[in-house]
Amino acid sequence: MNNVFKICISGLTGSGKSSVGRALATSLNFRHIDKFQTSTYKRLKDDLKYKDYTAELANNDYARAFDNEIYELSNQGNCVISTWLASWIIDDATLRVFLYAGLEERARRIANAKGMNFEEALSYTKEKDEKSIKFFKEFYNIDVAYNPDLFDISINTERLDVEEIADILRYIFEKKIKKA
């Protein structure tokens, strides 16, 4: 294992990547990296002037720059990276996690986070998943919907709360680094 510990959390829209990532990073005293820490995302916001920019990250102009920036940020010290592609981008990850939940639960989370009604959130979640899955398959040849061989652990986030999941991941991480 390397001297920098990198925990990658991947999953579909509303699966809990950022919430779990923040909680785990806090519990380990690691940096949390997601799209909001990148200058690429900030530039995208300025360039496009849209309310939601995630889907626009999925284009050739921004995708590689975003991925490269996430990779560079991950080399700056111990971190938890919460992005769709973290587990694929970070080739020296210490731990790779896939989070999942059913579509309706993810839509409820999106509705709460974005102040949408459930039907709007359901439509938004389906559309974002479909566009992102298609782009990542075409651009990277990656099936982000699920690739069980890549991950150390997969967790259904409908069955546990954020802190319980962070505790489980912390335990697995600590066991894994003791074996190294």
User: All domains of the chain, ordered by start, with CATH?
Assistant: 6-102+150-179 (3.40.50.300)
Closest CA to 168 of 179, 178, 160: 160
CB 34 within 8 A of CB 80: no
Among the residue ranges 23-32, 38-47, 97-106, 160-169, the one predicted with the least confidence is: 38-47
What is the tens place of the pLDDT at every residue in 50-108? 445 455 545 666 778 888 888 999 999 999 999 999 999 999 999 999 999 999 999 99
- What are residue 153's DSSP bridge partners? 97
Give residue 48's pLDDT band: very low, low, confident or very high (50, 70, 90): low
Closest CA to 107 of 116, 99, 97, 98: 116
* Higher local confidence (pLDDT), 121 or 145: 121
